[in-house]
Amino acid sequence: MAALPLAASAGEALVLGLTTGPVCLASCGPVVLPWMLVQPKGIGPHSRQLLLFLAARLAGYMVFAAAAWLVGAAIPRAWSGRSWAYGGIELLLAIALLVYAAGWPRPRRALSEPSPRLVRIGEAPRPRPSGAVALGFLTGINLCPPFLVAGVRAAQLAHLSGALFFFLCFFAGTAIWFLPFLSLGFLQRTPAVVTVARMVAVLLACWYGFSGASLLIERIING
Amino acid sequence: MASPSSAPARPPAFRSIGRSILLTLPIALWSLLMFTPSFRSGGRALSIGAVLVIVFMTSLFFLMMRTGETYRWRRIFFVALGFLFPVGFIASLIAERGTMSIPISRMVSGDTPFCFMVTPALILPAAFARTIVFPGSILPTASNPHSIAVMIGLWFAFTLVLGKAWCSYACFFGGMDEGFAAFGKRRRLHRFVTKYGSILRLIPWAILLCVVLLSAALFEPFYCMWLCPFKTVTEFPAVRDLETALQFGVFVTLFVGLVVVLPYLTKKRTQCGFFCPFGAFQSLFNKINLFDIRFDREKCFDCGLCQTSCPTVALSKESVREGKTLLNCMKCGACVDACKKDAAVWHLKGTPVAVKPERARLLFLYGAWALATMFGGSILANSIATMVHWLPLK
């Protein structure tokens, strides 16, 4: 790519990310907030978890950018399997939220053996990097409106590297909007806060599960 | 109706009749002031409603002054408000549009009456997208006087002074579950509520967070669309397809479960205490308002009557030992009335605890009852006027 189109493309993606960031925030907020609230207090653990989440989200973006470029603009715009993807991703999000809300999976142990990792109800579970990664990746490939706009634009670019670069810049623009989540690190972690966060995760899992299932059922009925 | 305690906490005549009348005078004058427009331009039915409400509200306040009890008299008003509000509201809907369901055209034109329950869900979309995610109008219009600005303004002014007392003196929904909780005396699920109270009282916070996050994500008032039990007795999106039918099913299930069955079984305000996200939001304002309930540790002997009497499980053993209520206290006065040792007292923040608590109670009640008369009283007057219209009184 020539230097000027590359810079223009980067600028366009960054501005698109910055301006549509609040929508990304609103779209990912229901997943990020309960996850961050079950982390131990402090800016350090929160930064780590947010970085992991954003890195996994970036990976999701890259996968989508590559797919969008390979298949063309049809993916984001009028792809007939879009509701399958929406429904499937929402169901996976529901499962991931339920799994991490319950603190599962845990290593199998003999019944008589006391677990050093036993988490009592109300206590903060140990930080699980895999949770941030799974939730980040699933929100990364979730087809929110700004993401679809970026997908259309990336699909029109001449090279795969261009599409990936476009999404990288788009990601940078949206990621800034996630920084306020770090302030949750200052919130006191009482057992009540952790319990509420887990309840939120379960309730949101119910919603995503319902939403995903209804999309899939509708798709099956309508063909 | 079941009383919060089995024995009277105070002598029947707490204050002399003359003194009680004197203390009731400001409320009587306030009521007259509030309902003067109804006499001038409201017609015969509304005038009858206004007179009845003035007598009703003034009498209840007088009884509060005379007996020194708050909860019992407040509950009569609150239950009346809860049960009469749908009467007037549904009648006005039927008269105006012929149905309780909201037609799409009304939503598009922003003519849906605003309900304060949506307030917390408006914050994020308003902050990030400068958009109100409710199909109502911001300023009052001829077709929709219940605008967003009017309702939020009223709510905010009241809340700054009295905190979560809104949920016990102004909310036109809370009286329904309080009414069903008052039927019968046996607490069938008492042990369940005692055992899991600490978890149950956290549920509204979880629902509040979900509602706020999903309203921002979906750009719609999620609580109104999916979770409000009171849609059953007010208005709801017209049932057009499977989704709206499902929504209506959820509303009815939540209403029957949380407003009728569980209050009856537990003798608690289950919808308000264990579900309502607006109640959780309102709890935050308990931190900054002027009044609270405190416990005089020198008089308290940990009998637990206050905890049993609390309709929303806003007291725990630990909180009483610390001399405070929990954040979700609605200032209904049940614990104060139930306490046989007068250890539970009304308190004006910044003053010593248990020093002239009756003065704090009076100050609180003037504010709360003035609002109850203005807000709930006008709803009651409208509902009574509706019923007068229906009655063949020629």
Under the banding of pLDDT at 50, 70 and 90, the label for residue B324 is very high
What string of H, E and C letters represents the secondary structure of B38-69?
HHHHCHHHHHHHHHHHHHHHHHHHHHHHHHCC
Higher-confidence position of B146 and A139 = A139
Q: Please give the average per-residue pLDDT across A155-165, as a whole number.
A: 80
Q: Give the range among A47-56, A101-110, B15-24, B96-105 with minimum mean pLDDT.
A: A101-110
For residue A18, list chain B residues with Cβ-Cβ distance below 8 A.
none
The one-character DSSP state at A73 is: T
CB–CB contact B210 A207 (8 Å):
yes
pLDDT at residue A120, rounded to an integer: 53
Q: Is the CB of residue B193 less than 8 Å away from at least one CB of chain A?
A: no
pLDDT at A221 over 60: yes
Per-residue pLDDT at B119 exceeds 70: yes
Question: What ipTM goes with this model?
Answer: 0.86
Residues B245 and B236: their CA atoms lie apart, in Å, by 10
Q: What is the mean pLDDT of residues B184-211?
A: 89
Contacts of B243 in chain A (CB under 8 A): 214
Lowest mean pLDDT among A206-215, B109-118, B324-333: B109-118
Cα–Cα nearest to A154, from A65, A77, A214:
A65
Asked if B177 and B261 count as a contact pair (C-beta separation under 8 A), the reply is no
More confident residue, A187 or B247: B247
SS3 sequence, chain B? CCCCCCCCCCCCCCCCHHHHHHHHHHHHHHHHHHHHHHHHHCHHHHHHHHHHHHHHHHHHHHHHHHHCCCHHHHHHHHHHHHHHHHHHHHHHHHHHHCCCEECHHHHHCCCCCCCHHHHHHHHHHHHHHCCCCCCCCCCCCCCCCCCHHHHHHHHHHHHHHHHHHHHHHCCCCHHHHHHHHHCCCCCCCHHHHHHHHHHHCCHHHHHHHHHHHHHHHHCCCHHHHHHCHHHHHCCEECCCCHHHHHHHHHHHHHHHHHHHHHHHHHCCCHHHHHCCHHHHHHHHHHHCCCEEEEECCCCCCCCCHHHHHCCCCCCCHHHHHCCECCCCCCCCCHHHHHCCCCCEEEEECCCCCCCCHHHHHHHHHHHHHHHHHHHHHHHHHHHHHHHHHHCCCC
Alpha-carbon distances of B153 from B115, B149, B366, B382, rounded to whole Å: 12, 6, 20, 21
Neighboring chain A residues of B128 at a CB cutoff of 8 Å: 22, 25-26
Q: What is the mean pLDDT of chain B?
A: 88
A65 compared with B164, residue with greater pLDDT: B164
Beta bridge partners of B291: B348
> In this structure, what DSSP letter does residue A39 have?
S
Confidence of residue B215 (pLDDT cuts 50, 70, 90): very high
At residue A52, the pLDDT reads 92
Query: Which residue of chain A comes nearest to B212, CA vs CA?
Result: A30
Q: How confident is the model at residue A17 (pLDDT cuts 50, 70, 90)?
A: confident
Rounded-to-integer distance, Cα B76 and Cα B293, Å:
21
Spell out the domains of chain B, with CATH numbers in brackets.
1-99+357-394 (no CATH), 114-289 (no CATH), 290-355 (3.30.70.20)
pLDDT attached to residue B282: 94
**A139-153, A165-179, B337-351: least confident range:** A139-153
The residue of A33, A143, A200, A219 whose CB has the most chain B CBs within 10 angstroms, and thus the best one to mutate to test that interface, is: A200
Tokens 């549920």 found at: B203
pLDDT on residue A200? 94
B204 touches chain A (CB under 8 A): no
Provide the whole-model pTM.
0.87
Six-digit token string for B266? 């537990």
Instruction: Quote the CA–CA distance of A169 and B282 in Å, as a whole number.
Output: 41
In chain A, which residue's Cα lies nearest the Cα of B216? A26
Q: pLDDT for B159-188, tens place per residue?
A: 998 999 999 999 999 999 999 999 887 778
Please check the confidence at residue B126 and state whether its pLDDT lies above 60.
yes
Predicted pLDDT at A1: 45
Report helix, strand or coil for A205. Answer: helix
pLDDT over threshold 60, residue A124: no
Q: Do A196 and B205 touch (CB under 8 A)?
A: yes
The token pair that represents B264 in the structure block? 């009856």
Interface test with B, best of A193, A204, A215 (most B CBs within 10 A): A204
Residue B94 has pLDDT above 80, yes or no: yes
Name the residue in chain B with its Cα closest to that of A32.
B213
Cα nearest neighbour of B219 on chain A: A26
Instruction: Look at B363 and B154; give whichever has higher pLDDT.
Output: B363
Q: Do B213 and A204 touch (CB under 8 A)?
A: yes
Using a CB-CB cut-off of 8 Å, the residues of chain A touching B314 are none
